[in-house]
A and B are shown apart, each in its own frame.
Chain A
């Protein structure tokens, strides 16, 4: 805790000498009297006089200070909380513009369903946006970073404690059409790299929000595995399933399908991995809540304490001094007649 003070309008302090005004001799209140020696000594009166000057100086001083806007500058305090460092890795490829698999998909004719892939139900990118926004809003203790990816990874928001900018990035993630290409491998490597040179201070998660898989080459797979291990990162895949997307858990699915291949690779990782696939937004919300429950390990973080303004206190002091002056006025003899 430090006690430094700064001023919003430091130049106003130039007016501080005005507080000396009440010390200057003034004639206006003086009464004429034939001989001062005739007046009896008045100790309480002298004290009151000193108090009067003091109150007057205080009133001016406090008002000037209030106008200068004193305050304790923004500080950071280290705290220990429960939470995680979560990097949101958001797919911005064209396929994210497809619709979610409708809840009643089992009852639909497959041909009709395929036709509806672009038109019926909520867009996957919108669903992802809403879910992530809610997720970030609920997990206030976590530190988030946001990375988009298509052909190249795009780190949009480096790790931060402040949700507002993360939310702005998530909002942007739902604007406009997706890009044509996807490179999950490069994206994962960049996401892992975002944890490099960061002190390990709590559980780390990469939350991959994507609808597509990839056949990664051996070298990329090896680098991803080593990176996750090195930086001790858990991987969570929020798999947005649409019409024509395979079911990750299907036992008989072939690894020739990119999504299945990616899922199986993740499963073989020595680091924690979970996949959340859902056919409808409600299920996805459950999955997000589960990520939240599972990653509640202690996390050291710096809490920002916003600037605290003392102006109001100064105004209160000034008002009190004015009140004292008024009381004094009521007691003072102003004229002989």
Chain B
């Protein structure tokens, strides 16, 4: 009896809404089933080399109002930078003392190993020091050798205050034969304040033992760099920016100064030093977002209010729902 109008012309399959819903369904299935795609993404491969010589114990930074040593501040900057590194980036540690940079940890992926990297970073301090000299220029060359041996276009960030001990007499050293200027990319990051401060003396057990006095350290020859001073002040330490800049120029690195904890990150994430690694990337959000747009469009309410009217929907068998 109620079926008298059911022979009406139907557009059940081909109509617009069905097409939209079909499209949404297909997109959702694509999002569901498509595997992650390898996309080249900008990532960074760095070995952070920390100067762990005694001058890095000078507490001329402050963090949250408390004085903090140069080394601790540099590590804090490294933690901050790690948080911002895009996944797929790799980071490793090195330490510099005496005349050598020793690779402590080969670079590994930063997101998967975040907590372990932090735990490892916490261990880098002056107690590791294997010698009391501080031949930074050689240390930088050794860091370059290590990065070269690691391969994968590994770059260096060398964090130091630039205080050579014993002081260099000439302008600098010649680059090792097996290294070429510009062969590696990297940064020299100047750590420390500009005002020269006494250097805390730390004994082998890591306990403070006063400060280094003028007669304790090799003062070196008077040279042009110290021409203005009455005598050399090698027992005092401030950031030797000129020396660090000259070294950066020599090996083809960039120079930046660690002024706040964010400045290391800013330097490291230089687009010029990005490596494009193919990283498995889950792109399912893309078809899923389009599917959502389609669904929202399909079920959008009427924009213009119309006369109030009772509305029923009617199925094929002719019943009102």
Is chain B's binding surface mostly helix, strand, loop or mixed?
A: mixed
Are A337 and B9 within 8 A (Cβ)?
yes
Q: Which of B135-192 contact A (CB under 8 A)?
A: 142, 145-146, 149-150
Are B314 and A333 within 8 A (Cβ)?
yes
- Is B264 in contact with chain A by the CB < 8 A criterion? no
Are A29 and B18 within 8 A (Cβ)?
no
How many whole Å from B225's CB to the nearest CB in chain A? 29
Given contacts A45-B321, A46-B321, contact A164 B315 (CB under 8 A): no
Chain A positions within 8 Å of B284 at CB level: 66, 311, 315
Are B120 and A158 within 8 A (Cβ)?
yes
Chain A positions within 8 Å of B92 at CB level: 168, 172
- Is B25 in contact with chain A by the CB < 8 A criterion? yes
Chain B positions within 8 Å of A336 at CB level: 5, 8
Q: Which of B12, B127, B301, B316 contacts A25 (CB 8 A)?
A: B301
Are A172 and B116 within 8 A (Cβ)?
no
Q: Which residue of B lies closest to A332 (CB)?
A: B315
Are B32 and A152 within 8 A (Cβ)?
no
Given contacts A59-B24, A60-B296, contact A160 B130 (CB under 8 A): no
How far apart are the CA atoms of A180 and B99 in the complex, in Å? 11
Are A329 and B301 within 8 A (Cβ)?
no
How many whole Å from B46's CB to the nearest CB in chain A? 13
How far apart are the CA atoms of A50 and B199 in the complex, in Å? 78
Chain A positions within 8 Å of B8 at CB level: 333, 335-337
- Is A5 in contact with chain B by the CB < 8 A criterion? no
How far apart are the CA atoms of A337 and B11 in the complex, in Å? 9
Q: Which residue of B lies closest to A183 (CB)?
A: B130
Q: Which residue of A lies closest to B109 (CB)?
A: A164
- Is B103 in contact with chain A by the CB < 8 A criterion? yes
Are A148 and B104 within 8 A (Cβ)?
yes
Chain B positions within 8 Å of A332 at CB level: 12, 313-316
Q: Which of B59-67, B211-219, B235-243, B286-294 contacts A (4 or more CB under 8 A)?
A: B286-294
- Is A179 in contact with chain B by the CB < 8 A criterion? yes
What per-residue 1/0 map shows which CB atoms of A29-47 lie under 8 Å from chain B? 1110000100111101111
Are A326 and B22 within 8 A (Cβ)?
yes
Q: Which of A153, A181, A334 contacts B12 (CB 8 A)?
A: A334
Q: Which of B100, B145, B302, B309 contacts A179 (CB 8 A)?
A: B100
Chain A positions within 8 Å of B311 at CB level: 25, 27, 30
- Is A268 in contact with chain B by the CB < 8 A criterion? no
How far apart are the CA atoms of A118 and B139 in the complex, in Å? 24
How many whole Å from A273's CB to the nearest CB in chain B? 27
Are B108 and A168 within 8 A (Cβ)?
yes
Chain B positions within 8 Å of A113 at CB level: none
- Is B31 in contact with chain A by the CB < 8 A criterion? yes
Chain B positions within 8 Å of A179 at CB level: 98, 100, 102, 130
How far apart are the CA atoms of A15 and B6 in the complex, in Å? 39
How far apart are the CA atoms of A36 and B319 in the complex, in Å? 11
Given contacts A172-B103, A331-B12, A332-B12, contact A319 B32 (CB under 8 A): yes
Chain B positions within 8 Å of A171 at CB level: 106, 150
Are B12 and A36 within 8 A (Cβ)?
no
- Is A192 in contact with chain B by the CB < 8 A criterion? no
Are B130 and A325 within 8 A (Cβ)?
no
- Is A157 in contact with chain B by the CB < 8 A criterion? yes
Chain B positions within 8 Å of A316 at CB level: 32
Are A60 and B130 within 8 A (Cβ)?
no
Number of interface residues of B (CB under 8 A): 80
Chain B positions within 8 Å of A180 at CB level: 130-131
Q: Which of B1-48 contact A (CB under 8 A)?
A: 1-2, 5-6, 8-13, 15, 17-18, 21-22, 24-25, 28-29, 31-32
Q: Which residue of B lies closest to A15 (CB)?
A: B292
Are B320 and A164 within 8 A (Cβ)?
no
How far apart are the CA atoms of A100 and B73 in the complex, in Å? 42
Given contacts A312-B32, A329-B15, contact A29 B319 (CB under 8 A): no
What per-residue 1/0 map shows which CB atoms of B57-92 lie under 8 Å from chain A? 000000000000000000000000000000000001
How many whole Å from B285's CB to the nearest CB in chain A? 6
Are B149 and A169 within 8 A (Cβ)?
no
Q: Which residue of A lies closest to B116 (CB)?
A: A165
Q: Which residue of B lies closest to A36 (CB)?
A: B310
- Is B224 in contact with chain A by the CB < 8 A criterion? no
Chain B positions within 8 Å of A24 at CB level: 301
Are B315 and A331 within 8 A (Cβ)?
yes
- Is A318 in contact with chain B by the CB < 8 A criterion? yes
Are B104 and A156 within 8 A (Cβ)?
yes
How many whole Å from B106's CB to the nearest CB in chain A? 4
Are A36 and B312 within 8 A (Cβ)?
yes
Are A42 and B321 within 8 A (Cβ)?
yes
How far apart are the CA atoms of A332 and B309 in the complex, in Å? 20
Are B292 and A44 within 8 A (Cβ)?
no
Q: Which of A45, A152, A160 contacts B320 (CB 8 A)?
A: A45
- Is B107 in contact with chain A by the CB < 8 A criterion? yes
Q: Which of B116, B123, B129, B289 contacts A155 (CB 8 A)?
A: B123
Chain A positions within 8 Å of B316 at CB level: 331-333
Are B25 and A319 within 8 A (Cβ)?
yes
How far apart are the CA atoms of A294 and B58 in the complex, in Å? 48
Additional 14 contacts, C-beta under 8 A, given A26-B300, A318-B28, A318-B288: A27-B311, A30-B312, A31-B314, A45-B319, A60-B296, A67-B292, A154-B128, A157-B105, A169-B106, A322-B295, A329-B12, A332-B316, A335-B11, A336-B5
A/B interface sample: 30 pairs, CB < 8 A: A18-B296, A25-B302, A27-B306, A28-B302, A41-B319, A45-B314, A52-B321, A63-B28, A63-B288, A151-B129, A154-B123, A165-B117, A169-B104, A169-B120, A172-B92, A172-B105, A175-B146, A176-B100, A176-B146, A179-B102, A315-B28, A318-B28, A329-B13, A330-B18, A331-B12, A332-B314, A332-B315, A333-B10, A335-B11, A336-B5
Complex A-B, nearest 5 residue pairs according to Cβ-Cβ distance, in ascending order: A42-B319, A49-B321, A45-B321, A24-B301, A45-B319
